[in-house]
Amino acid sequence: MNVHKGLILDETAKFHQDAQDTRPFVPGTTEIWPAGAVLDERDRTALVEAALEMRIAAGPSSRRFESRFARKLGHRKAHLTNSGSSANLLAMTAFTSHLLEDRRLRPGDEVITVAAGFPTTVNPIIQNGLVPVFVDVELGTYNTTAERVARAIGPKTRAIMIAHALGNPFEVAEIAQLAQEHDLFLIEDNCDAVGSTYDGKLTGTFGDITTVSFYPAHHLTMGEGGCVLTSNLALARIVESLRDWGRDCWCEPGETNKCLKRFNYQMGTLPEGYDHKYIFSHVGYNLKATDIQAALGLTQLDKLDGFCDARRRNWRRLRDGLDGVPYLILPEATPRSDPSWFGFALTVDPEAPYSRAALVDFLEGRKIGTRRLFAGNLTRHPAYIDQPHRIVGDLTNSDVITDQTFWIGVYPALTEEMLDYVISSVKEFVGGHA
């Protein structure tokens, strides 16, 4: 290693040690965040090393991350993106590709999704001129059911796009079965559920395509970032084209003529031999990430199993500690699942003698961070009211979530002391309102 680089990386490691917050936990003063990145010395030095080497665009680290991550999540192909939302956009848009011929989705086709969740699970449906069909979710699991999805299937239904809520798998085997029976595409938004299993199998491996987010709140982080994964090589090729400006060529940007046919193509009405690097077969985007992000992703990936274990442990401690607290609906894992939890959802029973707002205020006053179950009922937001959509059944539980639900953290940096303080704080508040 270059001597200067070695020195800089050694100093970076020392800087990392100096930068650690070694102050003891002080209840009511120390922030208990609902989520956050968990970054160690290796993460910091990997980032500095990538910067020193000026790996500023997508390149070898991105490719290495993609192949390691695909293997880890049980897929043949992974495509790194600049966010989980971009990954969702690519996943949905892939099904509109002309390369799918008769099976491609066309404007006006319907896609079944849930009303209560994160907006960018739904936005790609609308952005592609497709029509979201909203179904309700259950309280406790915060997922919809195969039965609700089955009821929503109509003559225009062509796909299903649903997120595993806060890490808790939806009934994905049953919903994948429905998709197969009705010839529908299934997109699993796995942004919050990396490492979760259903029937012993990883979420994200039941549908046609799946997505992950690497924003700091998620199971592993690159700062910003996301990924589209699939084992369908035709879909992977479409995703790559859409991600990389819509180009037809599959060479890396720095490569030239790897296929030895670069000047031998004739496509569209272009002249024979037009440079394949500049032939565009999709109306694409540029949603790539950089090697600096991928360098961090690679060191984070080594820790993924430990992160998932910690999330499970922390969730279990909260669940056991809060069991039986009056008027609180506690989270439940979907039967036959083992969630790698994103957060710990609490719903204040509408009949409770206290309000969600008062409980949240009390916790926030003690520096215990809370978050909403994202949008709550998305159909009530200004952005969606005038968008064409269909609602099947009622959205009663989505409305309850909008009014009564919030979540607290289970991320790996939380200590037992912090979690016990969260538990005692909730109990103290509820005890005072019995």
Ligand X SMILES: Cc1ncc(COP(=O)(O)O)c(C=O)c1O
Is 218 a residue of the active site?
A: yes
- In whole angstroms, the minimum distance from the beta carbon of 407 to ligand X comes to 11
Is residue 96 part of the contact set for ligand X (CB under 6 A)? no
- In whole angstroms, the minimum distance from the beta carbon of 267 to ligand X comes to 33
- Contact, 34 vs 216, CB < 8 A? no
Is residue 188 part of the contact set for ligand X (CB under 6 A)? no
Measure CA 102 to chain center.
30
Q: List phi, psi (to 5°) of 177.
A: -65, -45
Is residue 284 part of the contact set for ligand X (CB under 6 A)? no
Rg (alpha carbons) of the chain, rounded to whole number:
23
Residue of 215, 274, 280, 285 that binds ligand X (CB under 6 A) = 215
- In whole angstroms, the minimum distance from the beta carbon of 378 to ligand X comes to 12
- Contact, 100 vs 308, CB < 8 A? no
From 16-24, 118-126, 300-308, 353-361, give the range in contact with ligand X by CB under 6 A: 118-126
- In whole angstroms, the minimum distance from the beta carbon of 211 to ligand X comes to 7
Is residue 131 part of the contact set for ligand X (CB under 6 A)? no
Residue ranges in 50-89 that form contacts with ligand X under rule CB under 6 A: 83-85, 88
Binding mask 158-187 for ligand X (x = CB under 6 A): -----x------------------------
Q: Is 194 helix (H, G, I), strand (E, B) or coil?
A: coil
Nearest-10 crossing angle of helices 41-52, 3-18: 140
- In whole angstroms, the minimum distance from the beta carbon of 310 to ligand X comes to 19
Pick the catalytic residue from 164, 218, 219, 389: 218
Q: Is 151 helix (H, G, I), strand (E, B) or coil?
A: helix
Is residue 409 part of the contact set for ligand X (CB under 6 A)? no
- Between strands 343-348 and 157-163, the pairing is unpaired
C-alpha 355/C-alpha 361 separation (Å) is 10
Residue 230 burial (CB < 10 Å; 0-12/13-18/19+)?
buried
**Which residues are part of the catalytic machinery?**
218
Q: Which residues bind ligand X (CB under 6 A)?
A: 83-85, 88, 118, 120-121, 163, 189, 191-192, 213, 215, 226
